[in-house]
Amino acid sequence: MLNFTKPPVNPKEQHLTKQKSSNKINIKCDSQQETDTDNTPVEQKIKTGRPAVFFACAANKVVHEAFSQMGYDETTNENKFNYLWGWPSAADLVKRLQPGQMVNQMPGQVQMTRKDNLANTIQEFIRKYPQFNFIPKTFILPNNMLMCQSYMQQNPKKYFIVKEALANRGEGIQLLRGNMQIDLFVYMV
């Protein structure tokens, strides 16, 4: 069970809390998820009431607040929701999606969303289809460090965008010129 802080609970969300006076909400992840007794189909819920969001795992306050402001109610039912936020416990959860249900993440997306994996995927695509070479020169560090340093030395006036492979939300981005040094010990693209 995961705990995370949440803004004060409104009356419609009372069923999600363990302690009324607490500012914490407990959500069970993966197969431990509790289910509602409400048998209203998702399609009917969309037509008759507020949409529902199911959090597969903990989300920060900003995400909860955004869904709340958009009119979503939280549900603990992993089958009856309009929007699934977080990593599904398994690919079968995504396979069970009904018309109108949406997810923010899906199995295998790391191949496209991690910068290093995306760069590898694009480079492989360009090797197969060279006519689509519209992506700027890309190096994955530290694997391509020597090629990167050589290219930067040959182009000292060019600017380079350096991103940490695992950073997200704009964190870890640096702008360097060709004559600057790169940290050799950080995994970057």
Tell me what the pLDDT averaged over the chain comes to. 72
89 vs 125, residue with greater confidence: 125
In this predicted model, what pLDDT tens digit does every residue of 138-185 receive, in sequence order? 888 888 888 988 998 899 899 988 888 777 777 888 888 877 777 655
Q: Which amino acid is at 53?
A: V
CB 189 within 8 A of CB 180: no
Which range is least confidently modeled, 12-21, 64-73, 96-105, 177-186?
12-21
- Average pLDDT over every residue of 84-97: 76
**For residue 142, cis peptide bond before it (omega within 30 degrees of 0):** yes
Q: What does pTM read for this prediction? A: 0.48
Rounded to an integer, what distance in angstroms lies between the CA atom of residue 88 and that of residue 104? 10
pLDDT given for residue 82 in this prediction: 94
Counting Cβ atoms within 10 Å, is residue 27 exposed (0-12), middle (13-18) or buried (19+)?
buried
24 vs 69, residue with greater confidence: 69
